[in-house]
Amino acid sequence: MSQVSILGNREQGQDVRSANIMAVQSLSNIVKSSLGPQGLDKMLVDDIGDVTITNDGATILKQLEVQHPAAKVLVELSQIQDREVGDGTTSVVILAAELLKRANELVKNKIHPTSIMSGYRLALRESVKFIQQQLSLSTEQIGTEALINAAKTSMSSKLLGAESDFYADIVVNAMQRVKQVNSLGEVKCPIKAVHILKTHGKSSKESTLVDGYAIEAGRSAQGMPTVVEDAKIACIDFNLNKFRLQMGVQVLVQDPENLEKIRQREMDVTRERVNKIIDAGANVILCSKGIDDFALKYFVERSCIAIRRVKKADLRRIANCTGAKIVVSLADFEGDEKFEPSFLGLATKVYEKRVGDWDYTFIEGMKETRAQTIILRGANDYFLDEIERSIHDSLCVIKRVLESNLLVAGGGAVEVALSIYLDDFARTLGSREQLAIAEFSEALLVIPKTLALNAAKDATDLIAKMRVFHNAAQKADDEQKKELKHSGLDLINGKIRNNLKAGVLEPAMSKIKSLKFATEAAITILRIDDMIRLAPKEEEAPRRV
């Protein structure tokens, strides 16, 4: 029987599984120390010397140049969590790595990977059911402070932790103002409707929330008005420069006097275009390309605000919010040039204001949707970037709370409650999955353990106490003891407390998604038992004649 030869090397069985899990473990160890309110930051320097200082799991993993294929699965996992939930990226990676480590121990003890995978899936299903039925509470049950507390919890592990009261107000107000309810009664909170601008100078406590959309650009000429009430906005995506004939068009001029007429006509074409836009009723013109100085003169004469080189992304968002249409060309189907009044967007007020060293244009009272702008102030770029990441995570958390309306207690409460529940559940099974579910329940404790260790507290002692409380809560009949299910870590005083009353809250959606993603990633990597690395093709040396 002939052996098929493979160009490259091949690893099989336990070797490849151990190598994969070691790679995942080392990635998890990088982000482990950044989890929780006392988590530490990482400084990442790229190949051209740009520095990023952050403790956001998704940002850290995105910046790392990960080579190992199994570790790449974890990096993608953190990106998905960041995209879908916005928060909890670090805990997903830590949990996935712990699940894999424990699965590997079971495999070494002669338990087949298939049994482990089906056990993990069963544990996940039970966990999600338990969170939804037993641990989650609606915002109405918790009270008015629920949103503020959820935002503060999200910020507690970030650079903003000390000023979380101030920023939580900004974040919650911003999201509530852009909240929309559709015809089916579903709540939608578009994150993109909240624009974040960063400006050097002043302290971070002087950041402000503006009711409207702001763009980093001022008027293109000093003679234009600084404020326009009842604005009609034209969004144009073509040059308002001096008109030129296209490449390849030749004009033969016999009489030199006609040359001046051609030049004059080129100027007139641009003037006519400008007048068509203004005659349609536009008094604010946003152009994503250039506007010539001579064309600006016409806007100044008609008391319009014209802004050139507006970013395409900003132009699209303003068009969506004001009901404007982005015009790429004035030509219609007949070949005539015209600008319809229906292309214009409406806003109550457009004005220019100086913030720090830059002029910003603010658009308030947009017709279609309300937009909000958070202007962040701070000492330097690194600080502002990290504040922006923290604010983005908090906005995502508030979006999830407003949309799903369900919260759970934070500080390790959910993980320990699930661990106790799954331990009892595993004992009811008479199959091999029992062992996998028991390991799943142990793996969940890695989150509270890491939280306690990062806060320089005795993790073993605190988790032993928490398990007692949660065990009592699940066995109890009276309401008072059932309250113990919200027991979580108080990492400042090193005690156990009722985190629901203490206001440490997280979206239930965030917990459920992170459990799902971590389990799926662990199963994906556990399934691999053969890795073939293909060798690069060798270039044939040129033959010498």
- Written as tens digits, the pLDDT of the chain (545 aa) is 445 555 667 777 778 888 888 888 888 898 898 888 888 888 988 888 888 888 888 888 888 888 888 888 888 888 888 887 777 788 889 999 999 999 999 888 888 888 999 999 999 999 999 998 888 888 777 777 888 888 888 888 887 777 888 888 888 888 888 888 777 777 788 888 888 888 887 788 888 888 888 888 888 888 888 888 888 899 988 888 776 666 667 777 777 777 777 777 777 778 888 888 888 888 888 988 888 887 888 888 888 888 888 888 888 888 888 888 888 888 777 667 788 888 888 888 888 888 877 888 888 888 777 788 888 888 888 888 888 888 888 888 888 888 888 888 888 899 999 999 999 999 888 888 889 999 999 999 999 999 999 888 888 999 999 899 888 888 877 776 777 888 888 888 888 988 888 888 888 888 898 899 999 988 988 888 777 777 777 666 566 65
DSSP 8-state secondary structure symbol assigned to residue 486: G
What count of other Cβ atoms lies within 10 Å of the Cβ of residue 425?
Answer: 20
Pick the catalytic residue from 82, 87, 393, 490: 393
User: In the annotation, is 524 catalytic?
Assistant: no
Tokens (6 digits) for 128: 């999600």
Question: How many Å apart are CA 139 and CA 505, to the nearest integer?
Answer: 10
Contacts of 143 (CB under 8 A, 6+ apart): none
Task: Identify the CA nearest to 447 among candidates 423, 413, 399.
Answer: 413
Domain 8-139+413-492+507-533, classified CATH 1.10.560.10, yes or no: yes
pLDDT in the model for residue 545:
57
How far, in Å, are 81, 393, 396, 408, 506 from residue 400 at the CA level?
13, 11, 6, 12, 10
Pick the catalytic residue from 52, 54, 59, 89: 89
How far, in Å, are 33, 171, 264 from residue 175 at the CA level?
31, 6, 52
pLDDT in the model for residue 461:
92
User: In the annotation, is 279 catalytic?
Assistant: no
b/e map of 202-236 (b: 16 or more CB within 10 Å)?
eebeebebbebbbbebbbbbeebbeebeebbbbbb
User: In the annotation, is 477 catalytic?
Assistant: no
User: In the annotation, is 56 catalytic?
Assistant: yes
Q: Are 235 and 327 in contact (CB under 8 A)?
A: yes
Question: How many Å apart are CA 282 and CA 287, to the nearest integer?
Answer: 13
pLDDT in the model for residue 542:
64
Task: Establish how many alpha carbons lie within 13 A of residue 448's alpha carbon, considering only the half-sphere containing its beta carbon.
Answer: 33
pLDDT in the model for residue 456:
87
Task: Report which secondary-structure segment, H or E, holds 516.
Answer: helix 508-526
Output the furthest CA–CA distance in the chain (Å, rounded): 103
pLDDT in the model for residue 180:
81
Name residue 69's amino acid: P
Q: Residue for token digits 């979380």?
A: 164
Pick the catalytic residue from 90, 270, 322, 519: 90
Indicate the CATH number for domain 213-369: 3.50.7.10
Q: Collapsing DSSP states into helix, strand and coil, what is residue 230?
A: strand
Question: How many Å apart are CA 349 and CA 365, to the nearest integer?
Answer: 7
b/e map of 312-327 (b: 16 or more CB within 10 Å)?
eebbebbbbbbbbebb
Pick the catalytic residue from 56, 87, 314, 490: 56
The backbone torsions φ and ψ at residue 314, rounded to the nearest 5 degrees and listed phi first, read -65, -40
pLDDT in the model for residue 2:
47
pLDDT in the model for residue 1:
47
Where along the chain do the CATH 3.50.7.10 domains lie?
213-369
Q: Collapsing DSSP states into helix, strand and coil, what is residue 354?
A: strand
Cα distance between the two ends of the chain: 41
The backbone torsions φ and ψ at residue 213, rounded to the nearest 5 degrees and listed phi first, read -105, 135
Length of the chain: 545
Q: Are 145 and 504 in contact (CB under 8 A)?
A: no
pLDDT in the model for residue 5:
57
Torsion of CA 460, 123, 409, 205, to 10 degrees: 90
